[in-house]
Structure 1
């Protein structure tokens, strides 16, 4: 059985287009609204992926990229 793995390699034909779209989606939102939009986006994309192993790997990697405050 082959398990899906999290693809961490560049995967956009034009990465700047994605970044611009992401920034535009946050434009004119308050910090609270921006956080809520990010949470909704995570849930939507996680549902689309639908593989708990891949999502868990992504969560672990994202958490490791952020230093928790003591």
Structure 2
């Protein structure tokens, strides 16, 4: 299964709102921990090591490219 790079989330604005609302009333440390747990839960769901390695590299490269 190749990494899905095109928009693929139904109702992305609703998803974004859910993600932001899930962090409401959390400290920065709790929000970071929640996001880390979410990443691990979703990584376990994906399960494909090649896809996960590609996603890690893409996220890192994008972060470095946009770091200001």
TM-score by length of 1: 0.87
- For 1:5-44, list aligned pairs within 5 A: 5-44=2-41
Gaps of 5+ in 2: none
| Higher Cα radius of gyration | 1
- The match for 1:52 is 49
Task: Give the C-alpha shift of residue 8 in structure 1.
Answer: 1.1
As a proportion of its length, which structure holds more helix? 2
Deviation >2 Å, runs of 4+:
none
What RMSD in Å do the two structures reach over aligned CA positions?
1.5
Aligned length, in residue pairs: 66
Task: Give the C-alpha shift of residue 13 in structure 1.
Answer: 2.3
Task: Give the C-alpha shift of residue 15 in structure 1.
Answer: 0.8
